[in-house]
Amino acid sequence: MASLSQDLSTALKSLKASGLKLTRTRRALLEVLVKEHGPFTIEELQQRLDGSCDIATVYRNMTAFGEFGLVRPCDFGDGLTRYEWAHSHEHHHHIICQRCRLVEELEHCVVEELEQLVASRGYSNVSHRLEFYGLCQNCQT
């Protein structure tokens, strides 16, 4: 597994390769995304930057990161888009608490075999998304 500094270095190289200028805000956003993994709402990202930029700046940067495939948007059905660094770790799914909205990653993916079946039918760039919903242990009491 890559170290945190290697992951951040990779993130900075990905940003440079995208053609986007490396600003202080973009670097700070990358550090949050790489170190804390996410997924994060725009508001959560802005809070983690300690108010050093406004919400519109975070939104514009996440939109730009998304256009270049640097972040992956996540929609958990609550009207909020969350973002996670697209290159930080292997394919995974999420489980979301229906009450407190806690989001946890599930590393194991049994759907990849089905993805290969779809590809065998001539489809290219095959991908999937899968989220699970339930009550976390804290919300069950």
Question: The CATH number of the domain where 116 resides is what?
Answer: 3.30.1490.190
Alpha-carbon gap, residue 31 to 52, rounded angstroms? 14
If asked whether residues 29 and 65 sit together in one domain, one would say yes
User: Greatest CA separation found in the chain?
Assistant: 50
Same-domain check for residues 103 and 79: no
Residue 23 and residue 74 in one domain: yes
- At 75 the pLDDT is 83
One domain, residues 81 and 98: no
Q: Indicate whether 113 pLDDT > 60.
A: yes
Task: Check whether 1 has a pLDDT greater than 60.
Answer: no
User: pLDDT averaged over the chain?
Assistant: 84
Q: What value does the mean pLDDT take over residues 107-133?
A: 81
- Which is higher by pLDDT, 68 or 7? 68
Q: How many domains does the chain have?
A: 2
Residue 15: φ, ψ to 5°: -65, -45
- Counting residues of the chain whose pLDDT is more than 90, the rounded percentage is 28
CA neighbor of 58 nearest in space, from 68, 69, 47: 47
Q: Average of pLDDT values for 88-113? A: 78
Distance CA 8, CA 27 (A): 9
Q: For residues 114 and 63, state if they share a domain.
A: no
pTM for the predicted model, two decimal places: 0.68
H helices of 50-111, where? 55-67
Range of the structural domain that residue 134 is part of: 93-140
CATH number at residue 33: 1.10.10.10
Residue 123: pLDDT above 50? yes
Closest CA to 61 of 94, 105, 90, 20: 20
